[in-house]
Amino acid sequence: MLFSGGRRKKHIANPQTDLYAHALQFYGQPPLENISLSEFETFAVDRLKLLKTVENLGVSYVKLSEQYTKKLENESKNLNFPHRLDINKSTDKRRKDYISHFILRLAYCQTEDLRRWFIQQEVDLFRYRFSDLQPKQKLEFLHRNNLQYDTISIEEKKTLLDKLVNSSYGVSGITVEDQDFYKVPFQDALDLVRTRKVYLKAGYVYIPHQDIVTIVLNDFRTRLSKALALTARSLPAVHSDERLQPLLNHLSHAYVGQDYSIQKNVGKISLEQIDSVRKSFPLCMRQLHQALRENHHLRHGGRMQYGLFLKGIGLSLEQALQFWRSEFIRGKVDADKFDKAYAYSIRHMFGKEGKRADYTPYSCMKVILSNPPSQGDHHGCPFRHSDPELLKQKLQFYKVPPSGISQIMELVKGMHYQLACQKYFELTHNIDDGSFSLNHPNQYFIESQKALGGGKDLKKEMDMSQRSQENSAARRPAAAPECYECKCIFQEILNN
């Protein structure tokens, strides 16, 4: 593994730049150049923000609709990624896009859930970019990537005219003459065959130029899936670098928003208010609060998740000790045992014991992906970890209407757990369309208090305390060298 202590050298034209010659990519060859660790981190976090936007827009709007396209174009522009591919010639933006894709491959190849999420968002991003190309550029892309699908001759087109018109959506006799049709093996177009959108004859389908995107997306999905499997087998070699491993582990469930750790709002919530403000708790925290009140005990995972949430909404260390002690001694734990067995961990989460780290409240991604609950546990995400029937009962208990429950369960079925929680927020607060993207339980609390008219001051305090971790979700190791050689990572993968 090679590092350099000096500044990164100015990017000089070389064969590597050929990778960035085109705005739309299948990402076939890995980047083999030096980048700084700070650039490595920034690229990864920015792409994660972009993919999160793709996910949220894909559920909120019809894909490729005017609103969807406009919002995604604006986000691409804000994050300095390629946009309006027909006119954008920025090599720097294309380089960032290319390298950041491969960095997230390393982070999101580790589990089946991570791979599935990453592939879906990358495919949707690719669809948006491909649709932005002109017909001539699409054809050039196909040829450049060895998708040598033959166009049928004018004579064959005239012979099949009626069949092409009757079997192809949105095609008339006039448009058949004006556009190319591709003759493709049917196994490469199963989605179009399944939905009966193309003419099938002798093992080949005839696809109008406007529908060729389906074939390209299937090809991209297959290539990416195979590449992630290959990357996963090579992870042990990558993780042997102790300076890189923390970055990748954080990226796989990175939260790119406010961390709610600064305690300017300490004392804003008192012990007496906890029960009265619980209506502003997200479902995961209401579940923990109810279990604590009923059982007078929570296991370690539940204490950490709920304790840090309470810390984030303003409970001080003294109040937290009093809160947990008063609840535990109502059960099977006396005051002496509490002080010996539990008080230390509470002081620890406030940074008063051990390494004195200021632990931050868990983000939605951390709750969803880390430490799944086992029998007897109450932590985790109800939308991710609850049995579907049990989740329906909980939603009914909190007076979510049947139509709303159906919408939430559809989002859960599609593994859009944060969007399901946001829909729960909208339904329980009588809001048609939330003006925020939900990423954190403490964010849910603040937005709820704001919607209910009780959180204006709290919201102001939290906004004042927001840190610059918008661009540092993956924390850099303390004594990391300045530059890192990508070649070492990706060449290791190629050799396996």
Binding residues are 284, 364, 381, 421
Phi, psi for residue 150 in degrees, rounded to 5: -80, 140
* Percentages (nearest 5) of helix, strand, coil residues in the chain: 60, 5, 35
The helix/strand/coil state of 181 is: strand
Instruction: Please report the DSSP string for 233-250 in residue order.
Output: HTHHHHHT-TTTHHHHHH
3-state SS, residue 471 = helix
Q: What CA–CA distance (Å, rounded) separates 301 from 345?
A: 12
Cα-Cα-Cα-Cα dihedral sign, residues 151, 157, 162, 165 = positive
113: left (phi over 0), alpha (psi -120 to 50) or beta: alpha
Contact 93, 81 (CB under 8 A): yes
- Distance between CA atoms of 185 and 218, rounded to whole angstroms? 13
Dig out the tokens for 494 from the structure. 């190629």
Structure tokens at 284: 């995961």
Residue ranges of the binding site for [4Fe-4S] cluster: 284, 364, 381, 421
185: exposed, middle or buried (Cβ count in 10 Å: 0-12, 13-18, 19+) = exposed
